[in-house]
């Protein structure tokens, strides 16, 4: 009886015959063959009751060649219960011994002389001489391997727990830092707002000219600290965009330090009071709102103020900024402060006054962008619900 799986096994007498390394092992019921031949192409197998013939092109002991195997078994085999697999790195055969003749063979092939290409696969080898002590040893080895696997699993679980703990510590540290930052900023702006309103209530319009002297130092500290709000999204501390905080922080610091602080003639203007109180009213709501959001605490009145108070305050803020810049331009034209005149080593000139003239256009555009941004956020929170038509 012959099992022909595929291919024509005729080997040309003129061609050189290369044999791969074959490792064999056995149990009482089966013969196990491993052909050390990788990336096999065009494999052909012929298995009969007494013989195995294999042919295929692949990478073996002699490199990439056509390899041929011809084995005459020590005893007949059961071809119907046998199988083979062509894998990427080798070819495996599981050949069943005939029922009634299932015993350990003294050798694989009929010839007593073992060929050089035939090796013993000690990893899978079994013999009838296997003693109880060896079986116990195998069982102990299996238990040891199981223990090692469990230990490795425990180490992996421990690594996962350590990583999880690191992430929890990072989240706690980030949350703690953001809450403290927002509450500190909110507290400072609450102080500024309280001072300005107190002076306005008890001194009337006379308080307008004192705004700069009263709160400029505290306000300057808050505005410098606000640069952190540009860094936060850049380093991933918060999951928001960079553009909106950059526009707000850059614009405010330009107006505060290069326009208001740098020109003493502006310090007593009512527009300075208006600008300071508008900024403070915006921030005295915004920072506590951020802190509550980070902590997951929903304060509905605070939320409503955050998404409503900007409607009158943002246009007023733009108006006061435009007013102060417009009044500063003639002063800067005359003093040429922050400007670069020719001649100089770089052969470059720059007029800060003209820069502010151009900046006024971008200030209005940026203000519109910020109001559109806030409008979108408000719509997301309080957008009109679609009513079902009957």
- What's the pLDDT at 389? 47
The domains of the chain are located at 22-125, 163-382
Q: What 8-state DSSP symbol labels residue 117? A: T
User: Is 359 labeled as catalytic in the residue annotation?
Assistant: no
Q: Structure tokens of 157?
A: 């679980």
Residues 6+ apart with CB under 8 A from 197: 277
- Residue ranges of E strands in 27-97: 30-35, 38-48, 51-60, 63-72, 77-86, 91-97
Domain 22-125 is found in CATH 3.40.50.150: no
Q: How confident is the model at residue 131 (pLDDT cuts 50, 70, 90)?
A: very low
Residue tagged active-site, from 161, 321, 355, 369: 321
Helix (H), strand (E) at residue 22: strand 22-26
In DSSP terms, 58 is beta-bridged to 65
- Distance, CA of 19 to CA of 123 (rounded, Å): 22
Q: What is the pLDDT of residues 193-251, one digit of tens each?
A: 999 999 999 999 989 999 999 999 999 999 999 999 999 999 988 888 888 888 889 99
Q: What is the DSSP letter of 207?
A: G
Summarised one tens digit per residue, pLDDT across range 368-383 is: 988 898 899 889 888 7
> Residue range 129-135: average pLDDT?
51
Q: Of 314, 359, 375, 382, which is the active-site residue? A: 314
- Reply yes or no on whether 321 is catalytic: yes
Average pLDDT, the chain: 87
Three-state DSSP class for residue 52 = strand
Nearest-CA neighbor of 26 among 106, 134, 116?
Answer: 106
Distant-in-sequence, close-in-space partners of 12: CB < 8 Å, separation ≥ 6: none
Using the 8-state DSSP alphabet, how is residue 350 labeled?
B
Give the integer Cα–Cα distance in Å for 322 and 205. 22
Please give the Cα distance from 212 to 210 (Å, whole number).
Answer: 6
Count Cβ atoms within 10 A of the Cβ of residue 156 and give its class: 0-12 exposed, 13-18 middle, 19 or more buried. exposed
pLDDT for 11-61, tens place per residue?
A: 444 456 788 999 888 888 889 999 999 988 889 999 998 899 999 999 888
Q: Which backbone phi and psi does 290 adopt, to 5 degrees?
A: -60, -40
The pLDDT of residue 218 is 96
């Amino acid at each position: 009886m012959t099992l022909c799986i595929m291919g024509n096994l005729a080997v040309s007498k003129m061609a050189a015959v290369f044999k791969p390394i074959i490792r064999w092992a056995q149990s009482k019921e089966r013969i196990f063959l491993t052909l050390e031949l990788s990336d096999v192409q065009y494999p052909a197998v012929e298995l009969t009751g007494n013989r195995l013939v294999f042919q295929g092109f692949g990478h073996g002991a002699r490199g990439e060649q056509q390899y041929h195997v011809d084995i005459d078994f020590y005893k007949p085999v059961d071809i119907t219960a046998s199988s083979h697999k062509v894998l990427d790195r080798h070819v495996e055969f599981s050949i069943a011994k005939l029922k009634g003749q299932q015993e350990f063979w003294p050798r694989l092939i009929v010839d007593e002389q073992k060929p050089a290409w035939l090796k013993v696969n000690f990893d899978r080898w079994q013999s009838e001489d296997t003693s109880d002590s060896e079986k116990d040893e195998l069982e102990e080895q299996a238990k040891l391997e199981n223990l090692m696997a469990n230990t490795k699993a425990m180490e992996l679980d421990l690594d996962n727990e350590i990583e999880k703990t690191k992430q929890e510590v990072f989240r706690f540290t980030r949350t703690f830092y953001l809450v403290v930052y927002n509450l500190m900023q909110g507290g400072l702006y609450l102080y500024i707002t309280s001072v300005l309103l107190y002076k306005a209530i008890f001194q009337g319009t006379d308080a307008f000219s004192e705004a700069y002297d009263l709160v400029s130092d505290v306000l300057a500290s808050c505005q410098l600290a606000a640069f952190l709000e540009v860094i936060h999204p850049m380093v991933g501390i918060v999951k928001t965009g960079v553009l909106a905080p950059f526009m707000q922080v850059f614009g405010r610091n330009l107006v505060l330090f290069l326009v208001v602080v740098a020109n003493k003639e502006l310090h007593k203007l009512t527009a300075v009071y208006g600008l300071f109180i508008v900024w403070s009213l915006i921030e005295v709501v915004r920072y506590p709102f951020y802190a509550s959001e980070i902590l997951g605490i929903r304060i509905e009145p605070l939320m409503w103020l955050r998404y409503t108070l900007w409607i009158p305050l943002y246009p007023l803020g733009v108006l006061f900024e435009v007013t102060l810049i417009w009044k500063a331009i003639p002063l800067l034209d005359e003093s040429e402060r922050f400007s670069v005149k020719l001649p100089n080593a770089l052969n470059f000139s720059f007029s800060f006054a003209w820069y502010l003239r151009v900046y006024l256009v971008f200030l209005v555009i940026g203000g519109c962008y910020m109001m559109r941004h806030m409008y979108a956020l408000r719509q997301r929170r309080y957008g009109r619900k679609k009513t079902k038509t009957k």
